[in-house]
């Protein structure tokens, strides 16, 4: 039969039984036809769980005859027949240690050593090796050395992707093949628009693994290209894209918008690990996307029982970090409490602490679990596992303790011993904007005339650092900052730069929101000075007028 007619007929068949019946009717097949038949069998009989009907395929007489031909006549096969058969047999889960596979691998390596393989053949051989659990790095490196000598500009997108995957597996030090990588990155930049969702994801994953931080133009182009592919990416592919955005520090508003369109529609079919990565992306980039968060809350309420403990934490922590309660908050945290009661002992100590700490940021108090958190046994567990009781961990413990002290007066469980308490909270996301603070201090000096009437970066006895503190006596007069007697009121100015808010939002981050809430409960008059209210003020006088209205609306007049 003519090869073209053969493949047309072969590709119309949908079961191995039909394929074997068709092959039995033929008197002769070329090796290309025979390897094509194996490939078609692998396509119809293999799914995500493996070979659907092992006995019906592997014990079939026609299949065994094909394998016999490939094993004992491997030296007579064309390159295409040899490599296509190898790929199909690997997909069919044939034992790589069998004499059949050993014969084919040996023949492929011999032709590789003699330089008889084209770029297409080299990549097909590499794809077969990459499918194995423990591919031969020596053979892959040999293929790479041949590929280095080829004209990269003539490679197809598939061939380019295969070489990226080879480099990812074999390269211990990127410097070894950095020249090849640099040339590949340049050529790939010109074909980004031709890349499928799968290829885009694979290349981004390889660039992360190979630490290609200098390939900024390529990374930017791939990230932008990935936006239109979001609905077509598999869960693993979307995770690769998100990890690349995180690793390279890239951010695209249109990417967030694409996620906002996709996640709410797909939340009940997405794998929990994919959703976890979406939430990690939003959390690390400080992106408060209400459509995404609301959908994730619904997904958690529906399916949390089947999540791992890590996934539970990854779903919930961003709500606290970004200071957001969804419309379904009551059901969301009710479900969380149910899950915690059922699986409390399954959580790793640091993950559990992160989770419960995030809850108090948004006024959800895990009172029923705090006796266990403050117990000597749990604290010993924290200390025994990395990162131990570092500053972040002790800050979280102290803030939990302060929260129940201030906001849950009915709590009568164990207290946190002083030796586990910090002197000052560690707030990595809410560091002080020094430039903004300087502008506010200049305005206050213009307003109050003397620098002695306010203090900056004041550490309170309650673990918080106040950006600017002003003291007033009983009649409302400003006292020197150093005076500790006759202080009737304390004003805490919170100079909130952009880094204390979610991206493109006026929504305070959780760690700053709880600070201002606690300062108020501790007796301070909290006055927020957000960046978006003062960034347009042009001079000292306009800043002073703003501060006068904000800080002293009734008790102090601005003199000319």
Residue 529, classed as helix, strand or coil, is strand
| Residue 533's CATH number | 3.40.960
Same domain? For 279 and 416 the reply is: yes
Same domain? For 448 and 516 the reply is: yes
Which tokens in the block code for residue 205? Answer: 């994953």
* Burial grade of 325 (CB within 10 A; 0-12, 13-18, 19 or more): middle
In a domain, 351, yes or no: yes
- Contact call for residues 465 and 499 (beta carbons, < 8 A): no
Same domain? For 410 and 513 the reply is: no
In a domain, 538, yes or no: yes
Residue 53's pLDDT is 87
In a domain, 59, yes or no: no
Same domain? For 390 and 449 the reply is: no
User: Per residue of the chain (560 residues), what is the pLDDT tens digit?
Assistant: 788 999 999 999 999 999 999 999 998 889 999 999 999 999 999 988 888 888 889 999 999 999 999 999 999 999 999 999 999 999 999 999 999 999 999 999 999 999 999 999 999 999 999 988 777 788 999 999 999 999 999 999 999 999 999 999 887 665 778 899 999 999 999 999 999 999 999 999 999 999 999 999 999 999 999 999 999 999 999 999 999 999 998 888 999 999 999 999 999 999 999 999 999 999 999 999 999 999 999 999 999 999 999 999 999 999 999 999 999 999 999 999 999 999 999 999 999 999 999 999 999 999 999 999 999 999 999 999 999 999 999 999 999 999 999 999 999 999 999 999 999 998 877 789 999 999 999 999 999 999 999 999 999 999 999 999 999 999 889 999 999 999 999 999 999 999 999 999 999 999 999 999 999 999 999 999 999 999 999 899 999 999 999 998 876 554 43
In a domain, 6, yes or no: no
Same domain? For 361 and 407 the reply is: yes
C-alpha 236/C-alpha 376 separation (Å) is 41
C-alpha 38/C-alpha 22 separation (Å) is 13
Residue 285, classed as helix, strand or coil, is coil
Residue 556's pLDDT is 52
Q: Give the chain's domain count.
A: 2
Same domain? For 323 and 347 the reply is: yes
Of 361, 396, 422, the position where a domain reaches its end is 422
Residue 560's pLDDT is 39
* Burial grade of 266 (CB within 10 A; 0-12, 13-18, 19 or more): middle
Residue 473's pLDDT is 92
CA trace torsion 245, 250, 253, 259 (10° rounding): 0
Helix axes 178-190, 137-148, angle to 10 degrees: 60
Residue 557's pLDDT is 53
Of 378, 402, 422, the position where a domain reaches its end is 422
Q: How many CB atoms lie within 10 A of CB 25?
A: 7
Same domain? For 418 and 438 the reply is: no
C-alpha 405/C-alpha 407 separation (Å) is 6
What's the DSSP call for residue 555? T
Alpha helix (H) residue ranges in 267-308: 272-284, 290-303
Enclosing domain of residue 503: 434-552
Same domain? For 457 and 340 the reply is: no
Same domain? For 404 and 285 the reply is: yes
Same domain? For 522 and 545 the reply is: yes
Same domain? For 380 and 331 the reply is: yes
Residue 252's pLDDT is 84
**pTM exceeds 0.85 for this model:** yes
Same domain? For 452 and 336 the reply is: no
Which tokens in the block code for residue 5? Answer: 């007619």
Of 396, 422, 448, the position where a domain reaches its end is 422
């Amino acid at each position: 039969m003519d090869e073209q007619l053969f493949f047309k007929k072969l590709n119309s068949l949908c079961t191995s039984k039909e394929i074997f019946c068709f092959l039995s009717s033929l008197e002769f097949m070329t090796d290309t036809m025979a390897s094509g038949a194996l490939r078609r069998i692998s396509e119809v009989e293999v799914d995500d769980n493996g070979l659907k009907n092992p006995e019906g395929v592997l014990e079939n007489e026609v299949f065994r005859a094909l394998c016999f031909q490939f094993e004992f006549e491997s030296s007579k096969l064309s390159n295409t027949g040899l490599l296509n058969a190898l790929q199909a047999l690997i997909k069919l889960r044939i034992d790589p240690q069998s004499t059949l596979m050993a014969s084919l691998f040996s023949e492929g390596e011999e032709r590789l050593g003699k330089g008889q393989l084209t770029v297409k053949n080299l990549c097909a051989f590499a794809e077969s090796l990459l499918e194995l659990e423990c591919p031969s790095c020596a053979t892959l490196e040999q293929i790479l050395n041949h590929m280095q000598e080829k004209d990269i500009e003539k490679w197809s997108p598939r061939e380019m992707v295969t070489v990226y995957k080879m480099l990812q597996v074999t390269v211990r030090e990127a410097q070894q093949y950095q020249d090849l990588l640099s040339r590949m990155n340049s050529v790939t930049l010109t074909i980004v628009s031709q890349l499928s969702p799968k290829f885009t994801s694979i290349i981004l994953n390889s660039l992360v693994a190979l630490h290609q931080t200098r390939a900024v133009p390529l990374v930017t182009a791939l990230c932008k290209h990935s936006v239109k592919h979001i609905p077509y990416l598999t869960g693993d592919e979307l995770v690769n894209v998100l990890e690349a955005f995180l690793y390279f520090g890239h951010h695209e508003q249109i990417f967030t918008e694409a996620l906002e369109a996709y996640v709410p529609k797909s939340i009940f079919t997405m794998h929990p690990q994919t959703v976890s990565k979406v939430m990690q992306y939003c959390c690390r980039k400080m992106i408060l996307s209400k459509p995404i968060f609301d959908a994730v809350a619904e997904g958690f309420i529906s399916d949390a029982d089947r999540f791992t403990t890590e996934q539970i934490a990854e779903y919930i922590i961003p709500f606290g970090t970004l200071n957001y309660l969804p419309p379904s908050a009551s059901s969301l945290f009710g479900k969380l409490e149910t899950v915690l009661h059922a699986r409390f002992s399954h959580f790793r100590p640091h993950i559990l602490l992160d989770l419960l700490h995030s809850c108090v940021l948004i006024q959800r108090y895990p009172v029923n679990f705090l006796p266990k958190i403050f117990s000597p046994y749990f604290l010993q567990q924290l200390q025994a596992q990395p990162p131990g009781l570092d500053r972040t961990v002790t800050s979280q413990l102290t803030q939990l303790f302060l929260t129940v002290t201030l906001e849950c007066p009915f709590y009568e469980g164990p207290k946190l011993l002083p030796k586990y308490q910090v002197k000052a909270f560690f707030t990595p996301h809410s560091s002080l904007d020094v430039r903004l603070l300087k502008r506010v201090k200049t305005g206050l000096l213009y307003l109050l005339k003397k620098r002695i009437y306010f203090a900056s970066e004041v550490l309170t006895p309650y673990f918080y650092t106040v950006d600017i503190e002003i003291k007033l006596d009983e009649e409302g007069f400003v006292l020197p900052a150093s005076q500790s007697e006759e202080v009737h009121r304390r004003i805490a100015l919170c100079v909130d730069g952009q880094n204390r808010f979610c991206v493109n939002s006026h929504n305070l981050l959780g760690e700053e929101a709880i600070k201002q809430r606690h300062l108020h409960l501790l007796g301070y008059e909290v006055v927020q000075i957000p960046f978006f209210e003062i960034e347009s003020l042009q001079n000292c006088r306009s800043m002073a007028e703003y501060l006068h209205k904000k800080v002293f609306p009734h008790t102090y007049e601005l003199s000319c």
